[in-house]
Structure 1
Amino acid sequence: MAGQSDGETSFSITGGAGRVHYTLTEIEAAAGRINLVAQDMGEVAATLDSELEWISSFTARLQASGLQGAEATHFAAGVAAGGLASAQGSVAAAARGVQELAAHASAAARRYEEAEAETVARERARRSRALFDGVQASTAGIFLPLVLWWQYHVLRDGADRQGMRDTAEDMLNDGPAYIAGLLGPAVGLGYLLGRSPIEGRGRSGALPAAGVRKFVDWSGLARPGHLELRAVPAGEWHGRAGDWRPGHAVPDLSGDVQLAVDPSVSGLLAGSQDAYGYPPGSIAVDRLDRPDGTRAWIVHLPGTEDWSKVDSANPFDFEGDLEGMTAGQQTLFEQQQIVVQELMRQALADAGALPTDDVLITGHSGGGIHAAAAAANPAFLADFNVKMIIIAGAPARNLPVAPNVLVLDLQNDDDLVAAADYGPPPNSVNRVTVTSHRPGAAEGKGTGDVIKDAHDLGNYIDDATALEQSNDPGIKAVRDSVGLFLGTAAAGGGPATVSRKVYQGRDADGPKTEAKSKPVMPTVPRPMKPGRLFPEPDIPPLPLPGAGAAVTGGPGTVSGRP
């Protein structure tokens, strides 16, 4: 972890280029390979030593023979022996150095294993402490209010020390142990005996998210649905969305809007802020024509927009969040389509994106979940060449983003939403996680305001602006990647011009029905009469007067009267 400070805001940065992180298996494998090299160099040194002995013995016998030219040969052999001796000494020294390196690598593997064991031990101790707290509360009797006050005080102290996000993650992971203890000593003992060994937190948040989605599906709070898409005219972007229904006429959609994008993380993330201002359920798709003639696309996603009910017509609702968080377990659920992901797919296809075009996705909160879910979906990556995602305040650590996709994950130490994935994001080369610490953010504010400000996208954009001055190698790699993607590195670093389209998605309940067209009856040409150039016209015979129908107009009538 690296700490960076810029002005009033400081940052903790993990992952990314220039930061070493290996697994225990990789360290052990490296130590084994280094040891093999040392063995090979030792064998080379032994071979050189035996060759040196042979040359020394040969020159001694040659000199003792008294043959003509023996003296000159002895001198040449001596020079060769000296060279071999020098080479043998160098190889032997190098072999010893490599052996020491192998020993250090093995020692590093042992230290890494000990560190992992220490982490597991801390997790177990935390679970045991949570279990004890639950048992203490269940047996407190009349002292229960005092016990609960003290436990709250400890939690609040932890939140002040490490931030609300980390405290919430601890509570989510330790919650089952606390509840088991709260149900009584017998249940707590059963929990202790029945729990499996803890191996860190891993993807501990994936199972709870799947459980919540299963519940809302079973209870009928969420119903399977499908996407309905429309392109939003520019006149509706910042006004109220009209009452649009599939099949009804809409204004001209052909005009794109030209925008200038600042070539920075904050400039790109501002696109997600724009998406909040468009009609509900809308995303922005920017077409970027680079100076080198290639084309790229930027997709901007808003966060959760509708909290009125679990399953609304807006794809960015609680059901949509669950779809994104459980994207890796999609086969467990009746609805196979991830509506927001399908919204991105259809919008990019309609805008003209090709599978070879580079794509960058930005997203805040729930939009960040969907950005990570798309970057972790092999089917989506097969259709679109996602190069990078920039997310803020998103609980997306349980989504295994493809290793060739660069991730910039912005978080805040008091953002409770970012804690919904139960732990910190993985520490990997392609994933840079930045946690901001905003001094004085809680001064004079209530807890609710602190939580709201911590998750606010505008504050995350301010963090990204301050982060531009960081010298961290991971952040520098992100800045370089943004410049290369936008093509501004070759164009002198000025703003990039994009053509924007806005697309609105609707989560319609039930399966998608295909429009049925009326069957077309085949026409049979009438035969031509001899001597006629065209077929006989197909005109029904007129009814005769007095045959049950009045005749009006036509031959034999005057002014339409018989």
Structure 2
Amino acid sequence: MAEATPSGTGGAPQPSQPPDDGMLRIRGGVGGLSFQFEELLAGAAALEGVLRQLQEVEMEADAVRHALFPYQPDSYASGSSAITAVGEGARAIGRVRLDLERMAREVRASQREYEFTEARNALLLRMGLYGAEYGSGSGIFGLPPMKARDIAEDGIAMLPRNLALLLGVPVTTAAAIGAAGGPTDVRRIVRGLAAAPGLEFLRPRPVRIAGQETRTEEADLAPAGLLRRAEAVGRTSGDIEVLQTGSGGQRAWVVIIPGTQLDGLPEGTNPFDIAGIAESLGFDSAEMNAAVREALREAGAEAGEQVAAVGYSQGGIHAMNLSQDRAFLAEYDLKFVLTAGSPVGGIEPAPGIGSLHLEHEQDLVPGADGLPNADTKERVTVTLTNPLILTNPLDFGAWDDVGLGPGHRLANYAEGAEAVSVSRDPSLQASTAALAAVVGAGGGARVTRFSLRRDAAPRGR
């Protein structure tokens, strides 16, 4: 656990934000603030247990000292020495007890301050208030200036307040509207759009397997290798991959889901088109999850076997939605999810599922749901901070090549994943080890490429 006040200095331990690791800004995991506080509180509880034992020992020592008084006249010198020694021991125990009491109180106070600050920040976010005057903002208190990813998240989160301001509502009233409504409910908005006349194509429709091909090949199962597979899979519209690693009783499965695809198949039949974004953000990927389950069965996966899911952009939302799908989790043991450039802050995985999320500070997409990823022991978010600048920003053809801008390029995320794999940060080491425990270190894998198709929309709509 990182400590701002190391042991031996006489001060109470305080959780500290892990420093950046080169171009990696790391949040969550075993080195994250939340887990550090969990450790501190567990330590405080353990200290309080020791305190109770020390109090009992102190009382017993005092009782022994009093019990020696009647025997002091029998041998005054030795009797006095014994009484003095027991008394000194009791006082020493008392001093230790007082030091531990002080430390436990300070740990509890630190936790209260942390909870107060988190509650205050959440309230300000709900009210749509941020900036230097509220203790946050660009470059304030050592925080880095806001970048595209943060701007997108804040803009979505504060949409109710901002709309009120555009309508001419006073700032204080607009803030109250934002506080009452809370952060923007992207899921509800997407469902509302899908229900609107003329936008029925956004509604989920069944996704089926239209074809499959199996081969055996050497596979790089490190995070960077898996993301590069997602890039390769995405070159063919509507495809996903299922990899079988290991053999016999040690088999495991990896599902690779690509990002958004806007052409290559008849309109409405590619499950990764715009309607796929709506299904992932608004409808929990219900149809895609069913297709992934069927693909695993077709590939030979048996109920209860371990699975890792990997996704880029839209594919990362689908992959993360598997972590909260009861039907999927009832059939398969999903152990890990790896995403890149995906807005998944609103998805809460079932207990015991680890996840690693790569974002870039110049990428708008990860902030599109208006919610940050949770900071927990099993969930690690890495923000890449390396600057990405087009050689010629006025070359609009270059922007077409990178889609939503250089920050969203999967090749950049793969390079970031390489830095993740060699990092010595405890959160990243634990996270990559958890992934490797499922998929192995690489080698021969049985790869099945599935072609998925969504049912066409009914005519006349």
Q: TM-score range by the shorter chain?
A: 0.7 to 0.9
Paired with 1:396 and 1:53, the residues of 2 have a C-alpha distance of: 66
CA contact (8 A) 1:283 1:299 kept: yes
- The amino acid that maps onto 1:214 is G
CA contact (8 A) 2:308 2:435 kept: no
Paired with 1:405 and 1:224, the residues of 2 have a C-alpha distance of: 26
* Alignment-derived partner of residue 142 in structure 1: none
Q: Report the TM-score, using the length of structure 2 for normalisation.
A: 0.80
- The amino acid that maps onto 2:71 is T
Paired with 1:301 and 1:307, the residues of 2 have a C-alpha distance of: 17
* Alignment-derived partner of residue 314 in structure 1: 270
Aligned length: 424
* Alignment-derived partner of residue 558 in structure 1: none
* Alignment-derived partner of residue 233 in structure 2: 275
**Which residue, 6, 27, 30 being the options, matches 1:14?**
27
Offset at 1:299?
Answer: 0.7
- The amino acid that maps onto 1:281 is G
Offset at 1:124?
Answer: 6.7
* Alignment-derived partner of residue 141 in structure 2: none
Paired with 2:295 and 2:152, the residues of 1 have a C-alpha distance of: 36
* Alignment-derived partner of residue 232 in structure 1: 212
Offset at 1:82?
Answer: 6.5
Q: Which runs of 5+ in 2 are unaligned?
A: 1-16, 132-137, 139-143
Q: 1:111 to 1:378 in 2, by over 3 A?
A: same
Q: 1:405 to 1:83 in 2, by over 3 A?
A: farther
Q: 1:472 to 1:27 in 2, by over 3 A?
A: closer
Identity of aligned residues (%): 25
- The amino acid that maps onto 2:224 is S
Q: 1:286 to 1:194 in 2, by over 3 A?
A: closer
Say whether 1:478 aligns with 2:431: yes
Q: 1:173 to 1:87 in 2, by over 3 A?
A: same
Offset at 1:366?
Answer: 0.7
* Alignment-derived partner of residue 3 in structure 2: none
Paired with 2:175 and 2:243, the residues of 1 have a C-alpha distance of: 54
Offset at 1:411?
Answer: 0.6
CA contact (8 A) 1:316 1:340 kept: no
Q: 1:83 to 1:376 in 2, by over 3 A?
A: farther
Paired with 2:117 and 2:173, the residues of 1 have a C-alpha distance of: 29
Paired with 2:264 and 2:203, the residues of 1 have a C-alpha distance of: 15
**Which residue, 342, 355, 373 being the options, matches 2:290?**
342
* Helix, strand or coil at the partner of 1:230: strand
Q: What whole-Å deviation, never above 9, does each CA across 1:237-274 have from its counterpart, x for those lacking one?
A: xxxxxxxxxxxxxxxxxxx3111112421112222112
- The amino acid that maps onto 1:226 is P
* Alignment-derived partner of residue 103 in structure 1: 105
Q: What whole-Å deviation, never above 9, does each CA across 1:324-376 have from its counterpart, x for those lacking one?
A: 22356xxxxxxxx7121111100001111122321111100011001110012
* Helix, strand or coil at the partner of 1:394: coil
Paired with 1:378 and 1:182, the residues of 2 have a C-alpha distance of: 41
Q: 1:483 to 1:196 in 2, by over 3 A?
A: closer
**Which residue, 363, 368, 374 being the options, matches 1:415?**
363
Matches within 5 A, 1:101-500: 101-120=103-122, 122-123=124-125, 126-127=128-129, 161-185=145-169, 190-196=173-179, 204-205=183-184, 207-219=185-197, 220-233=200-213, 256-278=214-236, 280-290=237-247, 293-306=249-262, 312-327=268-283, 338-442=286-390, 444-446=392-394, 449=399, 451-488=404-441, 495-500=442-447
CA contact (8 A) 1:412 1:437 kept: yes
* Helix, strand or coil at the partner of 2:412: helix
Paired with 1:378 and 1:23, the residues of 2 have a C-alpha distance of: 30
User: Which of the pair has more CA radius of gyration?
Assistant: 1
Q: What whole-Å deviation, never above 9, does each CA across 1:189-228 have from its counterpart, x for those lacking one?
A: 6544555469xx7xx35x2222222321342233452232
CA contact (8 A) 1:263 1:486 kept: yes
* Alignment-derived partner of residue 48 in structure 1: 61
Q: 1:315 to 1:44 in 2, by over 3 A?
A: same
- The amino acid that maps onto 2:449 is V
Q: 1:181 to 1:510 in 2, by over 3 A?
A: closer
Paired with 1:282 and 1:380, the residues of 2 have a C-alpha distance of: 20
Q: 1:285 to 1:128 in 2, by over 3 A?
A: closer
Offset at 1:295?
Answer: 0.6
Offset at 1:510?
Answer: 7.8
